[in-house]
């Protein structure tokens, strides 16, 4: 009886194992594109939810498009006859924040329907140029900009964006002459939990890391090309607190596809060049595909839309559209992208 029972159990386990199908990873091979907005406009930053995409743009404009029926709401901000170009946007549960580049700098807080607005920070300086804006949570947020003194400009809010404080350079890492940030796609700042990464370019391509929501900082070198004004890291994303990806290159040599992509698996302390001499050249935005274990990445820029299934080692072009500047995922197969004269929805399959 005992021997018969063991044999029976063996065959049950054998056939059970055969019946279990090992699911293969789902990799993308193509895209379907729906146009949500088409007009004369330049859009670099977007913020997405399940039913809306908010955008900030050139010529004093801010708006949103419904992801359900593509209806648009847009308003123009009139401020002392100034022509403002907004390249940073962030959202909390109740508010939208936008920040312009150039002098003077204005940080606006809006209600989610964009009806109510207020200026929550203002700065006048011939060197002022803010690049990116993000929130850790509904109360705490951060904005960064090019150096005015010997550090990156850094703003912090701890009260839901009602007030913003500029951090003194004595409390921040120093930059080298000619090191700055790029307002390419609002991806100079990446936040995961309490951890924050800021990327730079120009004379140096470095990563500034804070483990505690901006209270202290470490700085790490990267192998991304640098040394000239328009070289360096233009965009970054982290899948979790360990796996991250940076990209950029040489804006004046947009097809140059070496020393423009790097991966970290230790939270940004060390970086390794990947995809050398293959794939895209200059990139303005990279994003990890959700629920992909940090393996899958997409990039947009002047080379088009590219996709990697192996942490940036190899790349496949899924679209030749070189007008896209920024991209954000809604779920693991749907993203919203924007750039010159458009906002589109991309279905990956």
Could you report the per-residue pLDDT of 310-330, keeping only the tens digit for each?
A: 999 999 999 999 999 999 999
pLDDT of residue 15 exceeding 50: no
Under the banding of pLDDT at 50, 70 and 90, the label for residue 26 is confident
* pTM, to two decimals: 0.93
pLDDT in tens, 135-165: 999 999 999 999 999 999 999 999 999 999 9
> Residues near 286 by Cβ (< 8 Å), separated by ≥ 6?
187, 235, 236, 237, 245, 246, 247, 297, 298, 299
Q: What is the C-alpha to C-alpha distance for residues 87 and 211, in angstroms, rounded to an integer?
A: 26
Q: What is the C-alpha to C-alpha distance for residues 297 and 290, in angstroms, rounded to an integer?
A: 9
Length of the chain: 349
**Mean pLDDT on 195-215:** 98
**Mean pLDDT on 296-307:** 98
Residue with tokens 């002047």: 302
């Amino acid at each position: 009886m005992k021997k018969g029972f063991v044999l029976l159990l063996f065959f049950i386990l054998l056939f059970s194992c055969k019946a279990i199908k090992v699911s293969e990873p789902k990799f993308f091979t193509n895209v379907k594109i729906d146009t949500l907005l088409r007009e004369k406009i330049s859009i670099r930053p977007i913020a997405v939810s399940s039913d809306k995409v908010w955008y900030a743009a050139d010529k004093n404009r801010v708006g949103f498009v419904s992801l359900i029926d593509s209806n648009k709401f847009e308003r123009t901000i009139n401020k002392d006859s100034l022509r403002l170009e907004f390249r940073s946007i962030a959202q909390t549960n109740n508010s939208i924040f936008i920040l312009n580049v150039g002098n003077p700098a204005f940080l606006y807080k809006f209600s989610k329907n964009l009806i109510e607005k207020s200026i929550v920070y203002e700065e006048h300086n011939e060197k002022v140029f803010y690049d990116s804006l993000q929130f850790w949570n509904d109360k705490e947020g951060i904005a960064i900009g090019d150096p005015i003194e010997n550090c990156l400009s850094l703003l912090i809010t701890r009260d839901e964006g009602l007030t913003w404080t500029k951090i003194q350079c004595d409390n921040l890492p120093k930059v080298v002459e000619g090191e700055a940030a790029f307002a390419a796609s609002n991806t100079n700042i990446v936040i995961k939990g309490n951890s924050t990464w800021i990327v730079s370019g120009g004379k140096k391509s470095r990563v500034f890391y804070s483990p505690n929501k901006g209270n202290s900082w470490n700085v790490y070198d990267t192998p991304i090309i640098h040394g000239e004004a328009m070289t360096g890291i233009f965009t970054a994303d982290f899948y979790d607190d360990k796996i991250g990806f940076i990209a950029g290159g040489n804006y004046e040599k947009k097809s140059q596809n070496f020393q423009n992509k790097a991966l970290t698996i230790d939270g940004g302390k060390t970086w390794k060049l990947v995809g050398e001499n293959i794939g895209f050249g200059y990139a303005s935005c990279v994003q990890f595909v959700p629920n992909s274990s940090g393996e899958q990445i997409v990039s947009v820029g002047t080379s088009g839309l590219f996709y990697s299934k192996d942490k940036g080692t190899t790349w496949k072009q899924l679209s030749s559209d070189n007008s896209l500047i920024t991209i954000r995922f809604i779920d693991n197969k749907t993203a919203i992208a924007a750039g010159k004269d458009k906002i589109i929805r991309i279905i990956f399959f």
